[in-house]
Each structure stands twice: as C-alpha cells, then as structure tokens.
C-alpha cells in the first residue's frame, strides 16, 4: 500500500464478496475519479506464476470486450507488497443485483420474459465469442441486472485461471459450476462457444421452471447427469412452455457440441425469431424488472429526457439491452426498497455472497470527469447517471486485428477465422497481417518497432478487425451525452444551387455508380452541392486520432486527410484509379535520380497553414523527423526512420542537437520550396511511404510539449480544421479558410463541417446510421449479423451498400523448416488440395466469405494478375488429381500428417480450418487442427525462434498491405529474417527478383516485376492464398460523392458532401 492506496491509486472500501477464486471490493479510482470494483485473486492462486500469467491473459481478452451487456474490465495489473504478489482486475461498478436473486424472487418466469433475458445474455456472449473469448462459467450469479432491468454478463474468462492448475483441479473435480457445466467441460476436454450455449440452455431452463435441468444432488451426481442423462423438457415442469420453445431449449442441451447451435449469435437469432412470432411485449423495453430484494436505495426521480430523433421504442435483434432506444417513455418503477439498503453490485464470485451492511452515500461528492450537474457517478449513492468512462484499454497499433482493416499488418483472419483488420476498427504500426480478415478479435501482443512492426492481424467473427479503444461504460447508453448525433435542423444546410454532376464525376474518376456495389468502382450521387454537416458515429476512438506521427489506423488516416497535406497523395477516385499517386503539396510525384537514391520534390506556390503562415520545405522535413521518436510517438509506422536513418541514429527533433531541430542528414531543404531525400539503397516504393500519414506537414513552432501537445492542438493544412476536440469522445471540424482549392487536386470542401461522436456500442452506431441519425460508421466495421440481415433483405437499404474489398488475403503459411514442407512438391500438394469454395462457404458465403484467391496479391494491388490461377480457378474447387501427383513426386504417395494452427474463439475461422482439413484428408494429408488464444498464438507466430521450436506445420492467417504496390504487400511476407515471413522461406531466386525490383524507378516496370514475383511466390507454395477478404459497408443516403477508396479500404471522407 502507498499512502493508504491500493496499487498507488485505489481507495479500497468494503468487501463486496468472496469465493473460491477471488475477492471483490468496492473502491474509488483516485486518478479517474470514479467508483470501481476491484477483484483480487486468492492467495493460493496468486502464488502460482502460471496462474498469474493466465489471469493476465484472460483479463486482456475480457478487457478487449466493448459491449453494453458486458461488465467492463478497465484495467489489470499486479500489486507487489514485499514478497506478496496480488494480481487484480479493475471492473465497472454496477448498481444492481444478480439474475440469481431475480430467479429466487420471480421464477418461473413467463416464457416470453425468460427468452428475452436469455437473448440479451446471448447478445453479450456473441460479442465475446466473436472476439475469441469463451465465458466458461455462465450462470445466473454471473449475470447482473441493473436498476433499469438491463442485463450485463460478468466474469469472462476468469474460470480459466483454475482450469489448468492441477493443484486446484484434482481428480473428481472440474472448474465451473456443476449445475451449468457442459459434458465436454466436465470431461476436461477443450471448450468453445458451444459450451457457453449449453450453460445458457441450463439458465433458460431455470428461468422457465425455477430450477436448472439437473439439481438437488451432489456435485459429482450433477456432473454425472450432465454427461449421461437426458435433461427433462421444461414443459414437464411448466405447462406454459410450448413445444417449439421446448425444442429450442433441448437443442442447446445436446450432449454433443456438434448438435448444438454453432455460436451465441445463431442461438439468439433462433430464440428471437420465436419471440417475434409470439408477438411478445418483451421485444421492447428492458429485459426485466429488478427484484425488490436487491436492497437498492431508490434514486430520486430525474426529468424524462426527450427521445433521440429517429429513435424507436423496440430494439432490433442484437441491440443493446437497456439502451435509450430500447426503453419505453414510461416504465413502472419497482417497489421502493428498504431505507438504507445496499446499492452495491456483486459479481458472482463463487456463489452467494454474505449479507452486507447497509451503505450510505459518501459524505462528499466524488471528484472526477463528470459533466456539470452530474454530481457523483451512478453507483456512488446519487441519482445522476455517470458519463462514459475514459478508455482503459486500446488496441496496440498494427497488430492482429479483426475486420476492417489496418494498413499492412498481419491480421488474425476471421469470420471465425484468424484475424485480419476491419469491421471493427483498425489500429497499429506498419504493414502486417491483414486486419479484419475473419479472425478472432483477440489482439496479439504489440509489435516491436521496425519493419517487423508492420503487421496487421485480422480478427473478429465474420469480419475484419475492429481496432480502436475499448470504451468503458457505467450504465450510460446512446451517444455521448445521451443523444444521437442529429443531422437536422442543420445550422449550415446544403445549398440549393444547381448540382453539377459532370464536374463531380470529372474530379472523381469519371464514372457514376448506383445501387448495390455502386461505390466500388463508381461515384454514388455525384454532386458539387455545398453546405451541411457530415455526421460520423463510432464506438471506438483510435488512440492519437489527430497526430499523424502517432497513428497506425486507416480510419484515423482517413479523417487526417481532411486536416493535413503531404507531398503526394492518392487520387480521389474509386477502383484502380484511386491507387494512383498524384501530387499534393508537391508539383509532381517526385523526381528520382538514375541510381534510385535521390528523390527531389518542389512545393507548389501559395500553400498556407490555417493561421496563414506559409508552408515551407522545413515544415515537410520536420513532420518526417517527428516520426523518428518512437518514445513520444510509439503507435506510428517506422517506414521513414527505417529508410532514412542510414546509421545516423537520429533521435527525433525533441533531442536534436541542431539549433533549428533540422538535424536529419538524409533530408535536405536547399530552399523553402525544395525537399531532397537521399536513400542508402534504392526503394522504388518511396513515394508511397510519403503518401502515408507519416508524410504530413507539421510546423515546428506548433509542436510543443515535447511532441505530446500536437494531438490536441493540430495545425491544419487541408480543407478543414479542428474547432472542438475531446480525445476519445468527440471531434468537430470546420472549414479552413486558408486552404485553396486551386492548389489541391485531392480534397474537396463541400460540407460546412464534420462531426464525429462516440456511441456506447457498435450496435448503437449501426442503428444510428440505419435510422439517419448518423451518415456513416467512422470505422466502417464489419456489420453485426442482425444489421447485415436488415441491409441485405431491404432493397432500399441494400442499394446504399457496397461489398467492399478490405485489401486482405487470407492464406495458409507452410513451414519450410519443418518436414515435409521443406519439399516444395509437398507444399504444392496442399495448394492443389485445398477446396477454397468450401472455405469461402465456411466463412459466410457471398457476403462474408470473400472472393476465391488465386494469387497472394489481392485485386486492390497494382500488381495483381487476375488471370493467374496456378492452383485453382476462380470457382475455387480442389484439384485432387494434381495434389496426388505432387504427393507422389515428393515421396509421400499415401500422404502425411501435419498440424494447422489458428486463433481460437472465432467460429467461422474454426469452420474454415476444418474445411481445409477435410479437403486435405481426401488426398491422404491428415491434419490436426489446433487453436490457441490470440495472445499465445501471436507470441509464437511473431517470433521466428519460438515458431520454429513449436514445429507448426501450417498456420491460418491473413495479411493486408499499407500501400498498394506488390512490394508493399509481399516484401515482408517473404523477406528472409522478417518476422512476418512465418514460412521461413529463403529462395535465392525470389530474393534476387526482389532486390532487382527495388532498383526500378519506372512505375510500369516495377508493377510488372512484382507481378512476376507474386508468380514466383505461388510457385514456392510457402504461402497458399485462400480468399480475398470483403465486407459489407452501409453508406447513409444523405451522402454524396460516395466511393470506396481502395488504399484506405474505406469510403473516402475527403470527397463527401450531403444533400
């Protein structure tokens, strides 16, 4: 303890409860000024280093979950007091009680009410499963019910700490709660999402009948019955349960996981369909009313808030329980509890908790970041609702992400596949595994600086990565401040001047697009109309959103293009035209010397920052120098420092000994209008690096506070500037009057401004875009299954959607340092035998499964060859005859055995790997599929030494490039010694081809060279392409000039207008 504070910052209050695993205390976070719950591991567990590591790993997985139906994990750490180590979690403090208390008071429930409660539990579990997290201990005691009747699931993953501890799991015992354990969990087998489904079936039975399926026996008896006895149908105990509902419950209670619903999302959809058919009133409003015995002091009445414009009373499937739109305008109040009752929540730590003494409100208001008039936070004894908390966790830049898509980082591919980046949000350092490629959402360890740091992993069920920060919520719903962003009445409505569609088309590539997929290769609703505000919604604010040196997230890059300019940029057009570099601040895309070592750029005339000061070559150089200081800017890419340091060990401008902070020797500024770069060796892709956020121009005088102030006080050179910014919460941009359209062929200045606001969940974001409260999902994440269904099945909505490429390729990496994959012929046998069509189906088919991949380079890459089909046609069927021929040639006519390793937790990814194994088995290749949590998976995958020692035969993953050249995608995947060269490929022919390609200064010659390199990569068969990732993007109907910018993998914000 330091100054009486636990871990130096928490004031511990009373013990809320304890069990066999942990204790929970109420506490006050003195740094953030909020009330929290702190859970500490029991001493016998804390003494075990392995248990502590598992605790930390599972806590990180739980901390990555951001859902209104999940109790938020704010932080995890270890507190040391002498020789004592105390691992702890800091969690959201919820005013309410547990579902077990509700069951004691109200069960059996009306069937419709029971199903609605379980649907909300499943909604939370579906989010967790999509992020690779299995609860493992679902039971009423681990489900919170708030004062408003909303459901929140607690204690994700904590049971796993005990699961592999042989001292605590002795013969005859298993981790979990016997009344709710699945047969496979009891037998000590691997568990996945389907084990949680079984537990939910037990909970639903208890809600319907008052008891779980098996009860009134010893722990061993209960576990025996779960494994060997048929559960009774709920209708045998409650005649109000229909035969249809009986069948749904019994499906969840199937003994074999294969006979249960595949995951929480599937099961929820079936139950919701039953609820809808029943025309139940429980479709709207909170899941339930809180029990009278919660002991909650009734809060003083608050004035009713006006409903958000466009809100509807009934939540759609998948909407957050207890959200503003889910509550009716009036709701019966629960009976007033006894005076002085306990307003605290417990978290199901090992069964029923001891009774607690009455607790009154604190004597003084608790200081903290609360809005004026909010008083102390909810849960602290006051009636005011607490605002959204500051984020406690954020995804590391450029690491395996789930859907939508970060630039160049190895992604865990998903859809239940390993992660790649986009649908959810992307963040991280340079190129790497593709993010958002149907991988689980667990985030791998943060990459180390350097080329190896450029990895984008894709995670997330059915989608690309959602990078971004996990925002903790204390019973707050809807957009920050309680209201959705409302586009009307707009103080700056669009003009009524005639619209010149031809002028808009001329600027943006010349082709109009309409209807579904219209934005992929055309401009939807071309217009020159000005005025109005573009409303952007997000549930994940990227870290360092506005500092170009400290961000590695496509969504951040997208909005930064409104603020900052660089020497070169990408053409403002859809399709392949958007991959072309065009001059921005410079007059050309750069002049290069014959030896490829010197690049010269001349600035245009009349360039100015928002304060009217001239933009000079020194501002260009300074912006580049900032990226060298990875201590101040740890989240940015390292491309420029890798290319330009050249042994100088330049520390960045903050420790620069040069009086003008211009000490980087490889960048010269002979005059105010000229910038000269000198490289140590040729690098044909150098201008593409300058087009990234790293190349943004920054005035040295504005970069105060050792570089840390620029994020909140940026200086614009583009068409918009910041008028208001609350990091992590909101951003408002207005027109920059010093910007001149005549100097900028990339950006437009149609809207009066842009507003970005935070919502409490991704579901809320999607609902806001669907109902018109917002125009666009800022991160353009993978759509929730329910939202996707609404869009696909509604012709008018589908017409405003694109099935967009993320730029990621899902592929198999075959370990060339492990037999038999040290033989290229055995590797080719795998490439021929994979049935890509079946993998595509496993990943979700037409709208989620992507396109069949015939090369490693995706269609969004300049060097992609659409005619290449060495191992498979575009239909994706297996070539079994050729596979057997290759097996015979490599001396394995009867096949061989190997392993396939991927990230656990994403059902569609698991199904994809099983489809691969099934196809290979047809030619005699016996595959053992192995899944691991994301932390352990990437800890091994990103370490060549550990990867070799692990002896993995094949790895299922994904990759996306940071820029659209062949080198930008392939270089790191095949370069000897690269951390991203998971296959350990070292082909002298290939290496020579790459060295030669890097000397080329002609774009067309470089394009051809990398197409040939891609063909050589296919011939080596160390990487086997499976599918090109795509995801559904919905664009608000008010937006004009809408198109998919292929390099960003997003709708181009710089072109938008509103009608």
Alpha helices of 564-658 — where are they, by DSSP H?
617-626, 639-644
Which residues make Cβ contacts (< 8 Å) with residue 4, sequence separation at least 6? 11
Which residues make Cβ contacts (< 8 Å) with residue 752, sequence separation at least 6? 491, 492, 530, 531, 532, 533, 734, 735
- Is there a catalytic annotation at residue 137? yes
Place of tokens 């189906």: 841
- 208 neighbors 232 (Cβ within 8 angstroms): no
- 402 neighbors 423 (Cβ within 8 angstroms): yes
Distance CA 932, CA 900 (A): 11
What are 2's two structure tokens? 């330091």
- 1034 neighbors 540 (Cβ within 8 angstroms): no
| DSSP code for 534 | E
What are 802's two structure tokens? 């694109």
Place of tokens 């010694």: 977
Q: Given the residues 75, 137, 933, 1029, select the one marked as catalytic.
A: 137
Burial 194-221 (b: 16+ CB within 10 A, else e): bbbbbbbbbbbbbbbbbbbbbeeeeeee
What are 850's two structure tokens? 């992507």
Which residues make Cβ contacts (< 8 Å) with residue 323, sequence separation at least 6? 68, 315, 477, 478, 760, 761, 763, 764
* Among 606, 657, 609, 653, CA closest to 628: 653
Tabulate helix, strand, coil % of the chain (nearest 5): 30, 20, 50
Which residues make Cβ contacts (< 8 Å) with residue 617, sequence separation at least 6? 603, 669, 670, 671, 672, 673, 674, 675
Burial 801-831 (b: 16+ CB within 10 A, else e): bbbbbbbbbbbbbbbbebebbebbbbbbbbb
Distance CA 76, CA 63 (A): 8
- Asked, as a colleague might, if the bond just before 820 is cis with ω within 30 of 0, I would say yes
Integer angstrom CA distances of residue 601 from 301, 672, 677? 65, 11, 9
- Is the sign of the CA dihedral 820, 823, 829, 834 positive or negative? positive
- 133 neighbors 196 (Cβ within 8 angstroms): no
* Among 94, 1053, 1044, CA closest to 509: 1044
Backbone phi, psi, residue 76, to 5°: -145, 140
Question: Is 39 labeled as ligand-binding?
Answer: yes
Distance CA 545, CA 178 (A): 47
* 24 beta partners: 17, 39
3-state secondary structure of 253: coil
| CA distance from start to end of the chain | 59
What are 1048's two structure tokens? 């960003």
Phi-psi sector, 588: left (phi>0), alpha (psi -120 to 50), beta: beta
- Asked, as a colleague might, if the bond just before 489 is cis with ω within 30 of 0, I would say yes
Output the known binding site for ATP: 39
Q: Enumerate the known binding-site residues.
A: 39
**Residues noted as catalytic:** 137
């Amino acid at each position: 303890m330091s100054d009486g504070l636990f871990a130096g910052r928490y004031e511990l209050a009373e013990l809320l409860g304890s069990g066999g695993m942990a204790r929970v205390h109420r506490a006050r976070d003195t740094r953030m000024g909020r009330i929290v719950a702190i859970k500490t591991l029991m001493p016998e567990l804390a003494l075990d280093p392995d248990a502590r590591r598992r605790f930390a790993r599972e806590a990180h997985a739980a901390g990555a979950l951001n859902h209104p139906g999940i109790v938020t994990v704010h932080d995890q750490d270890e507190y040391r007091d002498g020789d004592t180590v105390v691992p702890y979690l800091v969690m959201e403090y919820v005013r309410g009680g547990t579902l077990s208390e509700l069951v004691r008071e109200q069960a059996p429930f009306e069937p419709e009410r029971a199903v609605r409660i379980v649907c909300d539990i499943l909604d939370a579990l579906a989010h967790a499963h999509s992020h690779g997290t299995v609860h493992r201990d679902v039971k009423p005691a681990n489900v919170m019910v708030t004062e408003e009747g909303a459901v929140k699931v607690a204690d994700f993953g904590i049971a796993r700490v005990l699961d592999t501890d042989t001292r605590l799991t002795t013969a005859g015992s298993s981790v979990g709660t016997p009344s709710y354990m699945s047969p496979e969990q009891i037998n000590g087998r691997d568990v996945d999402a389907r084990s949680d489904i079984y537990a939910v079936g037990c909970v639903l039975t208890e809600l319907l009948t008052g008891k779980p399926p098996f009860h009134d026996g010893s722990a061993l008896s209960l576990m025996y019955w779960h494994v060997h006895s048929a559960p009774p149908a709920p209708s045998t105990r409650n005649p109000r349960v229909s035969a249809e509902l009986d069948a749904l419950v019994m499906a969840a209670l199937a003994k074999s996981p294969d006979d249960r619903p595949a995951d929480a999302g599937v099961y929820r959809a079936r139950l919701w369909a039953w609820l809808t058919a029943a025309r139940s009133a429980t479709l709207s409003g909170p899941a339930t009313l809180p029990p009278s015995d919660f002991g909650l002091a009734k809060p003083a009445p608050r004035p009713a808030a006006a409903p958000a414009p466009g809100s509807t009373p009934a939540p759609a499937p998948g909407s957050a329980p207890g959200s503003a739109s889910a509550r009716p305008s009036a709701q019966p109040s629960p009976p007033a509890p006894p005076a002085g009752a306990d307003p605290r929540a417990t978290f199901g730590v090992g069964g029923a908790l001891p009774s607690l003494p009455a607790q009154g409100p604190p004597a003084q208001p608790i200081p903290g970041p609360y809005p004026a008039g909010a008083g102390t936070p909810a849960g602290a004894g006051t009636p005011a609702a607490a605002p959204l908390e500051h984020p406690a966790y954020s995804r590391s830049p450029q690491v395996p992400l789930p859907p939508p898509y970060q630039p160049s980082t190895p992604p865990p591919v998903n859809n239940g596949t390993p992660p790649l980046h986009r649908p959810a949000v992307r963040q991280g350092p340079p190129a790497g595994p593709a993010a958002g490629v149907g991988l689980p959402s667990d985030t791998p360890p943060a990459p180390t600086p350097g080329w190896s740091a450029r990895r984008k992993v894709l995670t997330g069920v059915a989608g690309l990565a959602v990078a971004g920060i996990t925002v903790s919520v204390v019973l707050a719903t809807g957009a920050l401040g309680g209201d959705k962003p409302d586009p009307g009445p707009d103080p700056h409505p669009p003009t009524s001047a005639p619209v010149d569609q031809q002028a808009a088309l001329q600027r943006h590539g010349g082709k109009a697009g309409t209807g579904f997929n219209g934005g992929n290769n055309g401009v939807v609703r071309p217009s020159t109309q000005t005025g109005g505000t573009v409303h952007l919604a997000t549930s994940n604010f990227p870290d360092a959103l506005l500092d170009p040196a400290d961000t590695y997230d496509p969504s951040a890059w997208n909005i930064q293009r409104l603020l900052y300019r660089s020497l070169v940029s990408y053409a403002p057009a859809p399709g392949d035209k958007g991959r072309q570099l065009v001059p921005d601040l410079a007059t050309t895309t750069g002049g290069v010397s014959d030896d490829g070592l010197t690049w010269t750029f001349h600035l245009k005339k009349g360039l100015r920052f928002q304060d009217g000061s001239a933009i000079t070559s020194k501002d260009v150089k300074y912006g580049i120098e900032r990226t060298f200081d990875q201590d101040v800017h740890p989240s940015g890419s390292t491309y420029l420092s890798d290319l330009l340091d050249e042994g100088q060990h330049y520390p960045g401008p903050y420790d620069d000994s040069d009086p003008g902070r211009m000490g980087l020797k490889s960048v010269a500024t002979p005059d105010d209008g000229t910038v000269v770069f000198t490289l140590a060796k040729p690098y044909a892709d150098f201008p593409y690096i300058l087009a990234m956020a790293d190349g943004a121009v920054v005035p040295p005088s504005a970069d105060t506070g050792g570089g840390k102030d620029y994020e909140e006080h940026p200086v614009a050179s583009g068409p918009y500037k910041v008028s208001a910014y609350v990091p992590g919460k909101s951003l408002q941009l207005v027109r920059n009057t010093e910007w001149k359209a005549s100097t900028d062929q990339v950006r437009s200045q149609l809207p009066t401004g842009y507003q970005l606001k935070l919502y409490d969940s991704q579901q809320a974001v999607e609902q806001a875009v669907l109902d018109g409260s917002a125009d666009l999902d800022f991160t353009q994440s993978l759509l929730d299954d329910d939202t996707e269904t609404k869009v696909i099945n509604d012709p008018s909505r589908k017409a405003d959607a694109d099935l967009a490429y993320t730029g990621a390729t899902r592929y198999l990496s075959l370990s060339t340092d492990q037999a038999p994959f040290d033989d290229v012929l055995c590797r080719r046998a795998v490439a021929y035998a994979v049935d890509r069509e079946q993998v595509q189906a496993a990943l979700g088919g037409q709208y989620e499964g992507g396109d069949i991949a015939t090369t490693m380079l995706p269609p969004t890459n300049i060097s992609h060859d659409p005619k290449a089909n060495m191992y498979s046609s575009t239909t994706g069927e297996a070539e079994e005859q050729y596979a057997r021929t290759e097996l015979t040639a490599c001396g394995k006519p009867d096949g061989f055995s190997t392993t396939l390793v991927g990230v656990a937790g994403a059902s569609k990814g698991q199904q994809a790997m099983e489809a691969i194994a099934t196809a290979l088995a047809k030619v005699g290749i016996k595959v053992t599929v192995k899944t691991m949590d994301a932390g352990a998976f990437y800890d091994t995958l990103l370490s060549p030494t550990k990867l070799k020692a692990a002896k993995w035969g094949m790895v299922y993953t994904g990759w996306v490039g940071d820029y659209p050249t062949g080198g930008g995608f392939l270089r790191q995947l095949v370069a000897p010694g690269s951390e991203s060269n998971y296959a350990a490929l070292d082909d002298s022919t290939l290496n020579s081809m790459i060295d030669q390609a890097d000397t080329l200064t002609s774009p067309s010659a470089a394009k051809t060279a990398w197409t040939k390199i891609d063909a050589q990569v296919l011939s080596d068969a160390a990487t086997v392409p499976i599918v090109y990732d795509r995801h559904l993007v919905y664009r608000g109907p008010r937006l004009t000039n809408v198109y998919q910018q292929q390099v960003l993998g997003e709708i181009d914000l710089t072109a938008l207008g509103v009608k």
